[in-house]
Chains A and B, each alone.
Chain A
Amino acid sequence: MSDNKIASVKVDRDTCIGAGPCVATAPGVFELDDEQKAVLKRAGGTKTSDLTKVSEFEATDADDALLMAAAESCPVRAISLYDAEGNQIFPA
């Protein structure tokens, strides 16, 4: 059992401006879609900005440090992180 606290991630598409630092920080987790909005890469190839469990990610290296770094790098605070109970961890 890992000691990672972040259980799910969401991108607010209305806020996202496609600046792309999340992709630079965690290219295995994020990419920009055709509308230049950040999406989360799920296992199986689907991509969404909606709330996604970390366990559903295609990437297996998405630990707390990486996800926090990606969320913190966003200059418009479009990325939200939640714990297993659904409490928002970031932005705090």
Chain B
Amino acid sequence: MDKLQYADVNRDVVRSLVETGPRYYTALFIAIGVTLACFFFPWFYQLYYGIGAAGMNHPAVWGTYLASFIFWIGLSHSGTLLSCVLHLTNSEWRKAMYRSAEAMTLFSLMVAATMVLVHVGRPWFVHWTMPYPNQMELWPNFRSPLLFDVMAVATYLTGSSIFIYMGAIPDFAAVRDRTSGWRRHMYVLLSLGWRGTDKQWHRLGWAYTFLAVLIIPLAVSVHSIVSWDFAMSIVPALHQTIFAPYFVVGAIYSGTAGIVTVMFVLRKYMNFEQYITRVHFDNLGKLMLVLSLIWTYINILEVFTGWYSGTSTELEAMKYKMFGYYAPLYWEMIAFCAVAPLLLISKRFRTSFVPMLILSVAVNIGMYTERFLIVTTSLSRQYLPDAWGLYVPSLVEVSILIGSLALFTTLFLIFVKIFPSVSIYEVKETMATPNRRPSEEGVPQWQPTS
């Protein structure tokens, strides 16, 4: 990054915020269009008609919506969690990518929350899961893993929002000082009067690290708790102690893959080639490799313990998953999440952008499949064989799944125009200190030009 100057960083990032080409508008327009057409309209139809618009039935009362919920929660994992871990371990390479990673956390959490609304039968009463004082003295049921879930997700969402916002305050200030008009008004508000005094820097650093420490266990607990929605049941193949670590690993795994995808896109389409480099892909690739190995190990364990139990319930559930109606999906998942990632052993692979993109997308397809299989194959094969059934997603569900991707994209597209998607000040920390010696032009003053 020799040629890169502090001013270049400011310029590049601000440019990404204020200069908006037709390509962006096309993308945004398509994303909003797809969101409306594939997410909101089918959802409205479902609200009107009832959950029957989806394919769920007796006994498969849960379906793609919940699979999507876990998927999005999982995707949310690597962002903030990874960012915190890397922050605490002072990893230099974190700095260019963490903002977009955290944004991913935020938006996947939001999409996950909407998936809950889409999933429940009467979303207009979903606030009853919140403990708020009311006339009837009714409280939610604190024994319910679903309630833990609401609490955990809400807390994680709050924590992540504060974390990403706090980390961006100096950048808001930087942008504030370089923009005008309504944008300036907005950044004046967002930057909370940041002036860059030593005291402010000191407090920010302290609070930021404090939050980072706080968020790590929170993030781990969120996906453990999500796993408990399943593991606390007595459904064969779901009632597993390994589920919490399994879910956490899976979450970080799919989240990491998600970051790779997002970084590729940012790098390519927002011209951040100089900030997001092969180093990032290399490091993330190593991380993915480790995660994929752990994930594979847990999957083998799952099969082993199921087989070792020797009970008809576990065996049938496993048999159905591996050789039943959805067997092709199972083997697809194994191929994408356990076999293909072995390519990451090669450094050449890790540092090639397009192959990494393809792999990261494949991993997330595999991870979505994992969630789908967890939900659909277990509920179809429970204790009473006479009540066994089959779940096939309906058109509405497929559409909402596609729509949720568009919703995520829409939110992200709006984000990149408001948030500096590469951290200005932290990228500068990674750069060589500017030449402070006096020159003919005098001491270079690093101050906003405007």
Q: Do A and B come from one complex?
A: no
Residues of A bordering B, CB below 8 Å: none
* Residues on B facing A (Cβ under 8 Å): none
